[in-house]
Amino acid sequence: KNWMCEAFYNVFDNAVKYSKSNSVIDISMKQTEMFYKIQIRDYGIGIKDGEENKIFQRFYRGEQARGHEGCGIGLYLSREIVLLQKGIMKAKQMKPGLLIEVNLPV
């Protein structure tokens, strides 16, 4: 339970950190037959084409994130925690921003 809280904290922290002040962050959750689907959508700096999987690599910093504080471990750790729970975590580039989707087994 504590590790899963850490995983979501990292995703929420990134959404806030890479968005402008007073920006909107959309969070939704729904249950499908096989998964709980949690989506976190920000309207911040986003990522470039081709970085969708790279942002989950240890110490990787997206090109647009390099001017911000951070070391590139948060999303890596979050994905590892989700994988240990037999879940899936993926990113989708949005215009503007980023969508992180976490699917956890029912």
pLDDT tens sequence across 53-77: 999 999 998 878 877 778 889 999 9
CATH code at position 25: 3.30.565.10
Q: Please state the domain count of the chain.
A: 1
Read off the pLDDT of residues 18-66 as tens digits, 9 standing for 90 and up. 999 999 999 999 999 999 999 999 999 999 999 999 999 999 988 788 7
Closest CA to 64 of 102, 94, 41, 38: 94
Whole-prediction pTM value?
0.92
Read off the pLDDT of residues 76-93 as tens digits, 9 standing for 90 and up. 999 999 999 999 999 999
**Structural domain for 44, as ranges:** 2-105
